[in-house]
Chain A
């Protein structure tokens, strides 16, 4: 009997959560058409990157040496580059690298950021001082320059780009999480939980983190876009993704030489990059408006 009750409870909980989620989605779509389009576009990019082998007509590193620097046509819908590689296939596969870098950088910097932010905000005092001054130090250096420095130090490889971006992005998460933590620490429910003897870990895990979701999601969305553009910048400068991998930044860097003779080489990867980053930024804005009623009402 007891068991059945528990199961029922769980189902009920699931249902309400599901219901809530659906209700939220409906509200979001209604109030944020631009955000909805952004989500649609991002889902499309994710779909493309997952299905890359099916969508791309050619191997992205295959050199079709009979057709070098050919403009968009029937066989190569976006043309070929200086080694005869199919630009469309490279853009399709390039989305994998962009999303991989963006996703890894955001997830890891989120994990580290939450850890440092929570520790710093909950315990305060000397720990807070030390952690926050380190974060200040990292944030005082312009992020792209710092990423440049770290990536150049580690050598050109995708994982090194991710490491560099995680180091750059972590303080931003840590800063926001700390602020939230300071607020939550003083709330009545945390006070109540503490007074019945909950452990620190339980308070943080059960009460603090679930309640700071909104700002983290907004920041993650913005950081995703920034990470994609940072990867492209580093690859453009030759210290990101090594060739012949089809990174958008690398494609742009190669293409810059052919701007006058083969403009399609710079146009299409540039467009892909711009749209992708724009989508993430617009989504970030939309989420912020949606999750923070104070800001949206001001508008």
Chain B
């Protein structure tokens, strides 16, 4: 098989995403929103348990309330998706809690952010918010625990990627002790 010289469109989406915290007031097109949410719940799920639940918020009053209780949301956004861990589906046979599903919630949010980027939108995942207040604002039952608030919208400023740690600093091959840079 011959590999292409240029990255695919999909790779460009993966490599081009960066956090967007400043949005125009433009609303999200309903059809685009549907695609974003479909991409979100197509994420990997451990054991296909899908111990997750999501609330997509576009009502202006609820958006204001959420932002006031979420210091991590820097600017107003036309859409906030609350990604929740469903504890009722995250119980092992012996009754113990099974927290691996939290990772699946995070992967679903990554899918959402990448889908948003591919549609010309942008977003930012936020964990700095008051859990019990968000629970009350969104009328979440006790078993749905909000984990991430993702603000999504049309970027108000050009995308800019922050510097990343060098790949040789964070990736090794075969063993961590192998500092052979040949692969990097």
Q: Do A and B come from one complex?
A: no
Interface residues of B (CB under 8 A from A): none
